Amino acid sequence: MKKLYLNWSFASFLIIIGIQCMIGCESNKNELYHDDTNKKFTVPEGGAQEKAGEITLSNGSRFSIIAKSIDLPIQFVETERHYKSRILSIAKVNEFFFILSDESKSFDQLKHVLYAYNEESEIFRIIDLGNIFTNDYALHLEVEDDKLYLRSKGKRQPYRIDIKSLAIHESDEPAKAFYEDKDFTITTKDHGEWGGTAFFKHKRTGTLYEVESSGPIVVNKLDNAYILSSTLRHMRTTSAIIRISDPQKLFKTDEFRHRLLTQHRIGSSHREGSEKLFSGDIDIGTSFVRDNTLYHLYEEDGVTKIGVLEKKESDNIDNYSPYSLTPVYLFTSNINARLAQVTKKDEHLLINQSTHKSMGGMILIKEESIVFYYFK
């Protein structure tokens, strides 16, 4: 892959989205970013948008950076549990964003709240989940066929959320596949530091294959190959990117082994049939394809970047990481992004969970835009 370069003609306008100082003090709580001349930019009340910058790559691809402010009554409060209230999960169904937050002040004052926000009409609705899901921090939203589900990574009963009324109903609908196309259904099992596995099931034959993957995040299809990005966030965060040209060359497994790898804390060690493109001490938020190019949104050494894979020089190639991840854009703010959903329109929706006590938000990568939403 050719190395991509930024066109820095907009450089003085791209030091943007000052997330850490967005709500740094009460008098300047709407400040989002500033440029080299210290000129202040703010997002007005009511969710109006500012075009903060434009990235132009050498292949002609462009990404507009947009910041929006959403006035939702989300509470970000200090708790006796020694961490700040947080966004647990987000999802997008049609024109609605759904935000699931943990606003519990203590173990005996549990509070989970679901917000529904429509960007076009700028309306929102709220449902207090109370203590129905007591102390469940694996709670997350999942979208399947325009239906919204509330699930837990534990063996808790899943629930379906009626999008119009926000009523909650028990459901026996199975969890959606990690990735699916006309040939394969991909599911994953992540055991954290004990390893993880990606399973490829051939739809026509029913044959099951496995490959090692610790902390799988997302699968992208590029040039008829499956590219799997993963990040293991334990002690020292590490990420890997592998390519699978033909899943039928992976290690063939069976139902007994599938149960073993899913029900016990053990991950696959089989890598045959896969090609490791990259491995390193970075934190990948997501990987996405635009203009037949695979991009990665990742954090490295405290800096958030957009990068592409580049083949190393022949004398630097090793089995550990034959490709390097070359940044094509560096954000100047502290972005803590975690992929939440890939919509059927290939939009990537991420949680932007800041460490600031009064801030949270989300990121939507769609078409040629990267939109930052901030909750006030």
Each residue's pLDDT tens digit, 145-154: 889 999 887 6
Nearest to 239 by CA among 281, 177, 272: 281
pLDDT at site 191: 81
CB 287 within 8 A of CB 217: yes
The tokens of 222 are what? 């590029």
Q: Dig out the tokens for 42 from the structure.
A: 């703010």
What's the pLDDT at 43? 36
Q: What is the pLDDT of residues 72-100, one digit of tens each?
A: 777 665 555 444 557 889 999 988 999 98
Question: Both tokens of residue 69?
Answer: 């402010």
Q: What is the DSSP letter of 146?
A: T
Side chain identity at 78, as an amino acid letter?
Answer: E
User: What pLDDT, on the 0 to 100 scale, is given for residue 82?
Assistant: 43
Task: Point out the residues of the chain with pLDDT beneath 50.
Answer: 1-51, 81-83, 355, 357-358
Position 187 scores a pLDDT of: 94
Residues ≥6 apart with Cβ < 8 Å to 344: none
pLDDT of residue 172: 87
CA distance 373 to 337: 12
Return the number of other C-beta atoms located less than 10 Å from residue 49's C-beta: 14
CB 294 within 8 A of CB 222: yes
Q: Please tell me the distance from the alpha carbon of residue 337 to that of residue 306, in angstroms, as a whole number.
A: 12
Task: Identify whether the C-beta of residue 289 lies closer than 8 Å to the C-beta of residue 222.
Answer: yes
Q: Is 69 exposed, middle or buried (0-12, 13-18, 19+ CB in 10 A)?
A: buried
Cα 15 to Cα 62, 285, 334, distances in angstroms? 17, 20, 12
CA distance 138 to 308: 31
* pLDDT value of position 28: 32
Angle at 210 between CA 156 and CA 287, to 5 degrees: 75
Burial class (CB in 10 A: 0-12, 13-18, 19+), 216: buried
pLDDT for the residue 4: 40
Residue 189 per-residue DSSP state: E
Distance from C-alpha of 71 to C-alpha of 290, rounded to nearest angstrom: 31
Rounded Cα distance, 318 and 5, in Å: 25
* CB half-sphere exposure, 234, CA atoms < 13 A: 11
φ and ψ at 143, to 5 degrees?
Answer: -115, 130
Nearest to 239 by CA among 273, 215, 274: 215
Residue 142's pLDDT is 93
The answer to whether the beta carbons of residues 44 and 32 sit under 8 Å apart is no
